[in-house]
A and B are shown apart, each in its own frame.
Chain A
Amino acid sequence: MSEMNTATHVPVLQVSDLDIEIRGVNGAFAVVSDMSFSVRAGETLCIVGESGCGKSMTALSLLRLLPEAATIAGGKVLIDGQDFLAMNQRQVEDFRGEKIAMIFQEPLSALNPVLRIGEQIAESVRQHRKCNRREADARAVDVLRLVQMPDPERRAAQFPHELSGGMRQRAMIALALACDPKIIIADEPTTALDVTIQAQILGLISDLQKRLGTAQILITHDLGVVSEVADRVIVMYAGRKVEEASIYDLFDRPFHPYTIGLMGAVPGAGASSEAGDRLADIPGTVPPLWNLPKGCAFAPRCANASARCLEERPPFEEKRPGHWAACWEHDDAA
């Protein structure tokens, strides 16, 4: 019991000062800089941002699955207290699935098309557990039942293409859960799904977390998904954290002008818009990562930018209790 209690206080995942670089034709440039965060058991952390902000790179680095051109240039990742980045390939493979597992956006490309669903899950079980084929197959059916797959015995014998999009994502989640990992990373798990199916999968993710107490990191661009599932939120822009807060603090009083801009840009958020109304868009586009402005990366698009913002990058600091942001603005300018 005492073990259980400490487990809820000690973070299962702790990332500090993570830097990721991509080597391009014109030299290396940073895609993720100074990322630090931690997640506790039973907690859901959402990392939100637009294309190219570094959210998916961060997720992939946590499984050491970065594409070849990308490397971890610095920082530390502690999983269950152990230094994940210092491990050799064998130790990494032992950790994946057993401690940390991933749910990908496109189940059709993440699942093996020529292996039956049950076999894919059993394969992972047998890699991490001492058990025979029969036990592994039984475990596969159990986790399919856990993710509320209809008719799990029959589905276990089917191939990914025989399942609907929603069922494939359930199979993907079952695969991630097969070895009871402590941390699940889900990269846009519902983006490829229709809205009624997305609702079922979000419902499932919340249900499972309540029952299993897994730590979750959910990567998304959709503030609606964030609002449904997050306990804590990190907003990223151009490879850096710009804001971090509890879900309520963030939605009640967003601090960073980018976060405020994102929330205003979502259509339909207002009570009922009249045709002809305008959305509060953010002018301009995200700067290319190989050519970031000198000061705050958001300054060229920010309505409140001052001369200082263009010259110096603001530190990531606590603006209100438990509410952090990287912005030269103070107090409640928001």
Chain B
Amino acid sequence: MQPDRTPLLSVENLEVHFPIRSGVFQRQVGAVKAVDGVSFSLQRGETLSLVGESGCGKSTTGLALMGLVKPTGGRVQFDGQEIRGFNRAALKSYRRRMQIVFQDPFSSLNPRQRVKDIIRAPLDIHKVGTPAERETRVAELMERVGLRPDQADNFAHQFSGGQRQRIGIARALALNPDVIVCDEPVSALDVSVQAQILNLLSDLQRDLGVSYLSISHDLGVVEFISHRVAVMYLGKIVEIAPKTRIFAEPGHPYTELLMRSAPSRDPRKRHSFSATNDDIPSATKKPSGCPFHTRCPLVTAVCKTTEPALTAREGGQMVACHNR
């Protein structure tokens, strides 16, 4: 079979700006450009990871694509169709094919609902099947994610963190979506349980061909789960490349800094980390030109005035840097 090369999801120049209001009349005095012109595409069965540190806009990008915050600009195409205006009607059919798993398995499940009702909710909302069919589907989904169907009448608080995340995954799978946005799905979990959930996500992709847009700050998780990686910094993608490429030859100086900052796995190869204070600028006071120029070892005059565009390099790598 020829793989289908038209992307399942294509995002062009996505913008999410939040107004900053001030004064008696709450006039807008500026904007937090949480997501500031982000473009990428996602193929069927592929995992693209958005990585970056707090405030880089990775989660807001995920929420905007789900229509959970309204984008202020840009175009989103899903399976060749443009999602116009992100209004209720446009979102309903689109959300059937695009689901999300949240970071915190404690706050993202309703504590007053039984597990079977949590997992069945998407089927009810989209009126899929008869009540009996929905019941069967819930049992099937629970088994699929490694939960015992006889626990269907329990409440979320009766489950451990890892099991709750399985419930969240079952809910996301209920409608057989094409894409699941995974917003830090394992960062609240202990290492041994985290590995179970990562394995589950990887099995589901292999068996169901679902695409993941994975949002993560953990490079270990990113390296495990992704096919391609996009690195974000202050609302922009600074580099996007196939996983093996980006880990072997990071193109952008920020990607390098991220990778250099990850603790070593070998006590004989310790980093000598610099103790000097070097903060991420606030998203409300973004530097001019290249957003990374205040921390960049390669900075030159042009970096302070002109913002570099993402340009193609070898091996499917795109880098936004004047000096690379």
Write the residues of chain A forming the contact surface with B, with a CB cutoff of 8 angstroms: 50-51, 148-150, 164-167, 170, 194-204, 206-207, 221-225, 227-228, 230, 247-248, 251, 261-262, 264-269, 272-273, 275-283, 285-286
Contacts and interface: CB of A to CB of B under 8 A. Distances in A.
Given A164-B279, A281-B195, A273 B263 contact: no
Contacts of A50: 190-192
B267 A196 contact: no
B273 A275 contact: no
A262 B244 CA distance: 25
A43 B53 CA distance: 32
Contact of B223 (A149, A199, A267): A267
Contact of A202 (B217, B223, B273, B280): B273
A283 B193 CA distance: 8
Contacts of A148: 275-277
A47 B193 CA distance: 19
Contacts, number: 161
B268 A196 contact: no
A167 B263 contact: no
B195 A195 contact: no
Contacts of A196: 53, 257-258, 261, 278, 280
A248 B279 CA distance: 33
Contacts of A198: 261, 263
B199 interface: yes
11 contacts: A167-B277, A167-B279, A196-B257, A197-B53, A200-B278, A203-B271, A227-B263, A227-B270, A265-B195, A275-B226, A279-B195
B267 A278 contact: no
B190 A51 contact: yes
B278 A267 contact: no
A225 B263 contact: yes
B192 A195 contact: no
Given A200-B277, A224-B265, A281-B196, A267 B220 contact: yes
B263 A224 contact: yes
B221 interface: yes
Contacts of A272: 223, 244, 247-248
Contacts of B220: 266-269
Given A277-B202, A285-B160, A227 B192 contact: no
B227 A275 contact: yes
Contacts of B222: 268
Nearest to B55: A194
Contact of A265 (B54, B194, B202, B243): B194
Contacts of A149: 277
Given A170-B277, A275-B202, A279-B224, A266 B265 contact: yes
